[in-house]
Structure formats: structure tokens, C-alpha cells
Chains A and B, each alone.
Chain A
Amino acid sequence: MKVSQARPRSRRVLDQSLLVLGATTLAAGLGAMTLAPGLSAASSHREAPLIAGDPRADNTDVYAFTSPDRADTVTMVANWIPMEEPNGGPNFYAFGDDLRYNIKVDNTGDGVADITYSWRFRSSYRDAADQFLYNTGQVTSLKDPDLNFRQVYDLVVTTRGKSRTLLSGVPAAPSRTGKASMPDYAALRNQATLGLPGGGKTYAGQAEDPFFADLRVFDLLYGGDLSKRGQDTLAGYNVNTIAIQVPKKRLALRGNTSRNPVIGVWSTTDRAGVTINDSRDKATSKQWKQVSRLGNPLVNEVVVPLKFKDAFNTLNPDQDRTVQPVVDKVYDPILPKLIQQVYGIPAPATPRNDLAEIYLTGICKVCGPIKADLNAHRLNQDAALQSIVPAEELRLNMAVPPTAQPKRLGVLAGDLAGFPNGRRLADDVIDISLQAVEGAAQTGVLVPALADGDKVDANEVSFGTSFPYVALPHTKNVNRGPAAAGRNAEQSSMENTAVSPVMNTTQAAAGAGVGALLLGIGGFRLRRRNKNS
């Protein structure tokens, strides 16, 4: 590769002359240019982009929890398109028509989906000829003629290779374009919340981003300054959300929730592939390729080296164990070493069988050092032991009843209905993950120096108490200048009705093995009051 040896001064003159000189000032420019390095580089070879942003395929979070108001069902929520500015016009945010959005469930533990829910969207403009606006007036219903851009979707469920269309051509809720255009978004959401044949419901549309964290915590860990935590980096932003609530028996192995209460959940995004070397029909054939995958939160940050994020995104969980560097880093993660380096908190001894338990097998007494039977597929009595493989999935024991007073630190705080047993919207996964990576799940003792975590303990708005639980989208742009004060997501109009969170616990309490759970919970003392309610 040639490195230019030209003098900076000439180069500067060249830049200026080439970039701003018109032909009329040509003579002045020429002298300088002859001294400067080559410009021929940037033409006549097709320089296509190399690094494509792909937010519509970018799966940011997945949640799975026993529905607090309907304990015989599980709700799964997955989000795409990060950092949606509420003020995102004129086109706002849409699911990709070229993508397939999936939520997958593994109830046998072999790392392969036994049940896959797939959403495929189609976009249209009511008046494509004369209008490019998202909406042309106030939108009071999904059928409102003023809603110019609209998306409908098909929902297909695939079990054991057989696909069945559950819903066809049903509407997704639009992006919330603002209070003037959509004064009652809750009404639109209700219209986009649809029942499923055989029980359950689904919602697809915009929502407030339920993730809350000061993402700077990682930066500061690196920079060695813990004094400035506490700002929710995600506050004020929206996401596109897909939520589904299904009866537990539809998810459990053999439909038997009491014998087989554990499921693994992850979400993926697929886009059609291409066949380069073949005939023209084949080149457009739909061969889906997975471009995004998400199970446990923060796996890429806490465990998987970013270098292998690409690999991770393409793999099915049953292939995880075939990518040795990823597996190695579960057993020997970088983060605790970094924390030791910066803060002197000793990294737990390796190999980290406790982390392998949390991320790869689920927690059970025979699975590893965490002495509890919580959410490993091995706890499913009808699961074939020899086919269970280590695989990164968000595992949920559906037999654990919803908690009346959820604790943000979930299992670490003795609240067994929270992460890493599934993941609820209000679980403080950054703090939990930091503690887990420091060995707290194994020792049963929180690491005091990190007890405050990122100092963001709750979402900036509260969650709903009924499906889809996520909050209504924000309408105020995040960047409103320095005078910006409290952001509220106009939750008052939500139709969610509060229900007793303690209902329906009897069925769940019958779950095998859960009563025997022992996690050394007594050792935990939360330093601050729990802000989640």
C-alpha cells in the first residue's frame, strides 16, 4: 500500500483547491495539486457500502415471563429498531417487509426451536400517489383514512416442521406520530391487540423502550470512575415491539406444564438470502438467513467477545457449543478481569461453571455450582437427557408463580420469578448481570462495591398491568435542549387495569422442584429500596 509522503501544507492546499476550486480558479490550484498525493483513488470501481446499518433487523431485547395478571399464560416480548426518536417523521418507524421476525421456544433442551412464532409484515400507503405523509389528519382508529401508511402482518406458528397461520392480514399499530395526530394511542393499541385462535393474544406496534440502563457503566468501568452513574441512556426512546401471550400448556413439552415447566426462549430476525451462482429463478428464491439473535440480555456485552457477535447472530442455539471461542468466554469471561484491573475486585476463579449454568444450561443442582433447581431443561421430566445441549437461551420455569412484589434484582434478591428465570420488563438486568459475572449467583453474596450497579433501577415510566405490559410510546423528542424536563409517556390513558398480582399462584406453586430452591438468598441485602412496583 502506498503511503503518501507529501508535505501536510501542500496537502491542505490540495484539499481546498480540489474541493472548492471552480474551474475559473483552476490556475491557482494547479501548482499546489502537482505537489500533492493522488486523487485517482476514488473513482470507477464500484465502492458499495461495507458496513450496513440494519435497525429494522436489530433485535434489542427479549423478555419472557409468566403473565402477572394471567398466571396460566406466558408473555413474550421482543423489540426491534433501537433508539427511536419519538419525533421521527416524516416516515417514522416500520417493521421491515423484507424480514421475518421470530420468537422461538425450546422445550426439550436440544437447542432447536420446538415452537416458532413468525411475524411477517406488509406495508402500504392508502394514497401513495398524492401523499407521502405518514398520516394526513388525526388518527382515531386503525381504519382511519387519515392513517396513510399502514402495516399488516401474518402470524404463523411452526411446530415440528408444520406451519399454521394463526392470523392473516391483521393490523400492526402505527408509529405514534404525536399527540395532535394520535391523541389516544391506547385505543389504537387495543385495536392492534388481537386474540389468537385457541387462546392467547398478540400485539405488534410501537412502544416505549422498556430497557433501562446507564450504558455508560461499562465505559466507566473501563475509565475507572464510578461517580457519574445513574442516567438512563434509553430514557425517552421508543422501540417497535412484538408481544405474544400464550397459554403455558401450548409451550410446555407434551403440553404438560407440571411435569415439564421449563422453556428456553429467544428471538431472531431473518432476511431472505441469495444464490449467486445459479439460475435466475433460484437467485430470488427465499432461503432465510438469520441476521439477529437474542436470548439472555447483555450476553454480547458480558460474555461473548464482540468479535463473535457476528457468529452469534447467525447461529442457532444448538450450534453454540461448536463455536469454541464463545463457549470459552462463558467459562473465562473478560469482564471480571477488567473489573479486577480497574477496581481491584478480585475476579472469581475460572472456569466459570456458574456462568455456564446461567447462560448455557439453566440452573439446576446437577448442572453446576449453583445449588438450586430453577430453570434447566433437565428439570423437564419428559426431556431426553442425552439430547440436552449447552445453548444460550433465556430459560423460564413456568411453574414459578408471578411475584406480588417483584424485586428488580430478581433471583439474586430471592424473587424467583425474575431474571435469570425468564426476564420481566422491570428486571434490572445490568445490575444482575454485573453481580452474576462477579460470582454472586454462586456465592450468594452481592459484591458490595458493585451493589449500586449502574444506579438506574427502574424504567422511566411504569409498565402496564395487562397485556402487552409495555408502556405507550413517548411523544416528546428526546433532544429538546438543555431545558428539557421530565418526560412522561402519557400513561394515564392506558386501558390496562390493575389486577391482583397474587392471583393464580396455586397452580404455579405446584411446580416440581421449585419449593426446594435454595440460593443462599439470605446473604443478600439490598442497599436501596426497590423502586419497581
Chain B
Amino acid sequence: MHPDHHAPPHAPPPSPSRSSRRLRNTAVTLALGAAMFAAGAVMLAPDETTVSRPSGQGQPAGPSRGSVEALQARVARLPKDPGGWAALGMAYVQQARTTADPATYERAEKALRTSLTVQSEGNTDAETGMGALAAARHDFPTALRWARKATTSGPYSSSAYGVLADACTQLGRYDEADDAVQKMTDLRPDAASLARASYTFELKGDTDQARTLMRRSLAAAATPADIAFAHNVLASLDLQDANPRAALAETQTGLRAAPTDSALLETRARAHLALGDTTKAIADYRAAIAIAPLPHYLLGLGELEQSLGHRDRAEEQYALLRAQDRIRKAAGDPADTDAILFEADHGNPRRAVTMAEETLRTRPFLAVHDAYAWALHRAGRDAKALTQADEALALGTRSALFRYHRAAIHHALGDPGAARRDLTEALREPGFHPLHADAARALLQRIDTMP
């Protein structure tokens, strides 16, 4: 049925030129679902269809359906439509993902709260949106509460189970996360749920299965954002499998669909780095940071500059990271893993331990266990660090960095055999880290030459 095609709110930004006809059409089509019934974020439909838009064919006119602009117009016209507000809120959440603009989160919350005011009971879309928003803000206990609400009120909502899966994963409830992903894919095996299915296998270290499923997600993806996401994960898997050439090709294909996707730029930077082209790596890092100055981009670039002996340029990135962390602290948010690792390596390890302990309370995810392990190691508490490092690798996740971290801990605890195993595993990805990869090689050599 025409009026309710599925529309992702993360459509590309509209061009400034707009034909009134198109504007009307798209707004109208969008409005239809909303006008009559409680339309939902998860049910709006994309104008974007199969593939990337041609270039040089004139500007697409008017905001595309599902875009923030189209949804703003819709709630302006139909302010009592909870579905419109929920869709707008979700669109902001998606937008915040790519822009890292904190004000967008507030706009998202406002729209979602308005939706919940208009319809407080059984508003699955707004509940799903609130869950997604909480997850985007890394408040996973809150995300879990909203997800449970959404899956109760909307037992057929694939998106609601997606939020549940995301929250459970980050809360270290991996079996429940698997169940939620199973339910999500059973309800609707689309790009979104196949991407999550891929992640469950990636976390278990089954990169072949993760790749197969992410290829299927890519086949099902229709919007540039979804296409870019799939290419980015596939490229990361290639890097994990020590195939930087494949990763480079994958990112380049992705960037054709979404030239300003900062995650793809960052992954391409890492592919260039693995291939030894530091100039291109730095250029890509800078491009990514110009789009969204996310902490792990800053950390990646800073450590790359440091590895090249550019202490001043590294310090520029580190200063930004410190500033971001002050902001975080002022807001009372728990630290992210990048901040913990940064503090452990470039700041005060004991403070990193405290940060990790705080974060772990609300986010016992394996990456946090890893960061905690590393912070403990840097603070000299290796016995405790080892249990945390084991926790980080308990699912069998293939991560060169986690492996290196545990190797260093094993070594500090006087277990060169275990350290050797982890180092060998880490160095399957020879360029896994600008600083630690060399350190790993040096440590392995020391173990091998000084038994």
C-alpha cells in the first residue's frame, strides 16, 4: 500500500533547492500514515529507493521523505500526531549518530516526549525511540527499560527488539541479546536486523559468519546510511582478518554511496595505515574528524601522529580528548572506553581505573572490561587486570587490541607462554594499533630471545 512505505529517518540531508510539487508530494505521502492513525517511526517510508542517487542530474527537490525536514513539516501540520513526533525523534537520534551533535539528542528527546504526551499508552514507536536515544547516550539501563516497554506494547516491532538487543549486549547480557536478535530477525530480516545478527557472530569471534550476514545486510540495505554502515563493518572485518587491501576497496565502495560518512573515512584511514600509507591515513582521519570529532577518531589520529614522532600534533588531539572528557565529567556521564584507554595510556592510570569502575557499573560490556583491564595493568594491578581481560575475551571475540592488552598483563604476571599466545594472535592483524602493534612485536621478540 502506497502510503506507508518504510522510511528511515536517516535519509540524506535535503538539498536547498526544492520544488514545491515534490515538497508537497513527499510531505503528503508522509502525512498520510500519520494523519489517520498512530503512525510510527518504524513505519515511515523512504523516498530513497534502491541505490545511490545519480550525481549531476540536478538537485533532488525538497526534503526526502523520512528526513528531519519532512518530519518537522509534518509535526508542524499535525501536532497531535504521536507517530509524527516519534518519527521525528527517531530521525534526530539517527542524525545524532552521524553528527555527534549533543543538541540533536535534546531535540530527539523533546520530540519523543511530545509523542508520549500526545499518546502515553502503547506508544511503541516513541518507546522504541526513547530506548534508542538512551542507548545513543550510553545509558543502557534506561535503554533496557524503554526497550522492554516497547517490546511489550509492540510485540511485532522488529525495531523494539533491536533496541532490546543493543541494550542487552552493552549490559553484558549476551544470551538475552541473542534471543532479542533472534526475535528481531524472525520478525523482519532486513538490513537493520541482519546487521545485529552479524554482530552477535562477530562478538563470538566468528568473522566468517559475521561477514556473510553483513553481506546480506548490505544486500538488503536501501539508504546510503545503511549501505555505508554495512561497508564499514565489512571493511573492519577485513582489517581484523589482516586484509587491508580488501578493507580499502570496501571503504571506497562505501564512500561512493556516502562520501561524508565519517566512520568509513576512519576505517579507510586504518586501512591506509595497515598498508603503510601514513599520509593518506592522516588525511582520512582529519576528514573524519572534520565531520564528527568522535573520541576514537581523535585518539586514533593522536596516536598515529605520536607514532610518527609528531609529538605536537599528537598533543593537539590529546588536548581535544581531555577537553571532551572534562565536558563529559561535568555532565556526570560515565566515560567511554576511548576515554579510559586514553587516560590509561596518556594520563593518569589510577584515574582511568576509577573511570572504568564507574562505567562498568552501568555498562558491563566486554569492551569496558578490556579498558578496565588495561587501566588496571597500567596502574600496576595485574592480577585483577587478568580477570578483567579474560572477561573481555570470554565470548571468543577476535580483537587484536584486547589480545595485546592481555598479553601485556600475562607478561607482567610472569607468564610468557600465555603472553606469547596472545601476542601471536594480536599480530595476526599486523597494523592493529599505531603504538601497540610495534610494542607487541617488541614484546614478542623479547619473549622469544630472552626465555
Contact = CB atoms under 8 A, between A and B. Distances in A.
Given A18-B101, A301-B32, A301-B33, 16 more contacts: A1-B142, A11-B103, A20-B290, A30-B323, A38-B327, A41-B105, A42-B294, A51-B8, A52-B6, A57-B190, A88-B50, A289-B188, A299-B1, A300-B4, A305-B38, A481-B61
A481 B325 CA distance: 49
A43 interface: yes
Contacts of A53: 5-8, 45-46, 48, 66, 191, 222-223, 226
A216 B102 contact: no
Contacts of A168: none
Contacts of B226: 49, 52-53
16 contacts: A29-B323, A34-B327, A36-B102, A37-B331, A38-B331, A42-B292, A47-B136, A48-B162, A49-B223, A50-B128, A51-B90, A215-B32, A218-B31, A274-B213, A276-B179, A306-B39
A213 interface: yes
B22 A478 contact: yes
B37 A307 contact: yes
A222 interface: yes
Nearest to B330: A34
Interface in B82-118: 83, 90, 94, 96-97, 99-103, 105-106, 109
Interface of B: 1-10, 19-22, 24-25, 28-29, 31-33, 35-52, 54, 57-58, 60-62, 66, 77-78, 81, 83, 90, 94, 96-97, 99-103, 105-106, 109, 122, 124-125, 128, 130, 132-139, 142, 154-159, 162-163, 166, 169-170, 178-179, 181-182, 185-197, 199-201, 206, 208-209, 212-213, 216, 219-223, 225-226, 229, 290, 292-296, 313, 316-317, 319-320, 323-328, 330-333, 335-339, 365, 367
Identify which of B188, B222, B295 gathers the most chain A CB atoms within 10 Å of its CB.
B188
A291 B189 contact: yes
B394 to A, nearest CB: 17
Contacts of B325: 40
A100 to B, nearest CB: 12
**What DSSP secondary structure best describes chain B's contact surface?**
helix
Contact of A23 (B163, B179, B316): B316
A43 B35 contact: no
Interface size bracket, A side? 35 or more
Contacts of A20: 290
A47 B135 contact: yes
Interface in A195-241: 211, 213-216, 218-219, 221-223, 231, 233-234
Interface stretch (A255-263, A309-317, A396-404, A489-497): A309-317
A272 interface: yes
B225 A49 contact: yes
Contacts of B293: 18-19, 39
Given A87-B57, A93-B50, A277 B331 contact: no
Contacts of A4: 102, 105-106, 331
Contact of B191 (A36, A52, A214, A221): A52
A85 B201 CA distance: 38
Given A276-B178, A276-B182, A479-B21, A33 B49 contact: no
A489 B136 CA distance: 47
A271 interface: yes
Given A18-B293, A54-B190, A41 B28 contact: no
Nearest to B7: A53
A98 interface: yes
Residue of B101, B216, B295, B337 with highest tally of chain A CB at under 10 A: B101
B120 to A, nearest CB: 14
Interface stretch (A76-84, A419-427, A501-509, A524-532): A76-84
A19 B10 CA distance: 19
Given A23-B313, A50-B163, A306 B40 contact: yes
